[in-house]
Amino acid sequence: MHIPVYGAPFHWRQPPQPPIDWSAIYPNEVILHGPRIQAVALTFDDGPDDEWTPQVLDDLRESGAKATFFCVGQRIEAHPEVFLRMVREGHVVGNHSWNHPNLARIPLAAAQAQITRTDEIMERLAGVRPRLLRPPYGALSHELVHLAMRMNKTIILWNVDSLDWTEIPDRQVAAHILSHAGPGSIILQHSAGGVGQSLQNTVNAIPYVIDTLRRRRFAIRTVPALVNVPAYAAGH
């Protein structure tokens, strides 16, 4: 299947869009955070790569924490061994499109192809077909939400942004997370970036963030465990 490229991939932020509270309109289909319990979910977008993702996985393994990785199909194809490590080490993997376009700004058939091809490579490599979808940039439209519903996907956004994509120092990454994280938070970080972008700040911040959250008596959960939704299609 040919997946057309719409614009340059991995521009981490698109121009601002009118604020829409998608989770208020679609409370069961678009999730911003979990229930108000003493637990949070760490999520990592845009991987796998062979530089930053393995270091993120090392941090998580050393801490014993499980996370949710929203993966780009093109990068799974390029780094299958790193993707398989995510699954093997007990993390949840979700769909983050094939090559990271703004799915709300391309034809709906192309958006469906982006999601389907990523599902297919995940299933072929690891035997899992994700139920979780995080659209690049968090960009949505009514048509895209309805497409996700037809594809049996739950859209996972976030309510805490680490701002690691701005390449701020690790202390600031940790501060952004820890000053905003509360009961049920879904925290956005990245495990890969654009060409030449460094995520050393993320790698450095993870151990301190996890240790501090635990000292504050927060459990670290995967998104499905936090919000009580399936990670994968039945039989996977």
* DSSP element (H, E) containing 227: helix 223-227
**Is 190 annotated in the active site?**
yes
Of the residues 33, 96, 176, 190, only one is catalytic, namely 190
Structure tokens at 121: 């490579």
CA atoms within 13 A of residue 235's CA, in its CB half-sphere: 1
* Residue carrying the six token digits 């890969």: 192
Give yes or no for a contact between 105 and 97, defined as CB atoms under 8 angstroms apart: no
The values of phi and psi at residue 125, to 5°, are: -80, -45
Give yes or no for a contact between 74 and 50, defined as CB atoms under 8 angstroms apart: no
Of the residues 45, 46, 59, 164, only one is catalytic, namely 45
Give yes or no for a contact between 137 and 15, defined as CB atoms under 8 angstroms apart: no
For 7-36, b/e burial (b = at least 16 CB within 10 A) is: eebbebeeeeeeeeebbeebeebbbbbbee
For 195-218, b/e burial (b = at least 16 CB within 10 A) is: eebebebbbbbbeebbeebeeeeb
Active site members? 45, 190
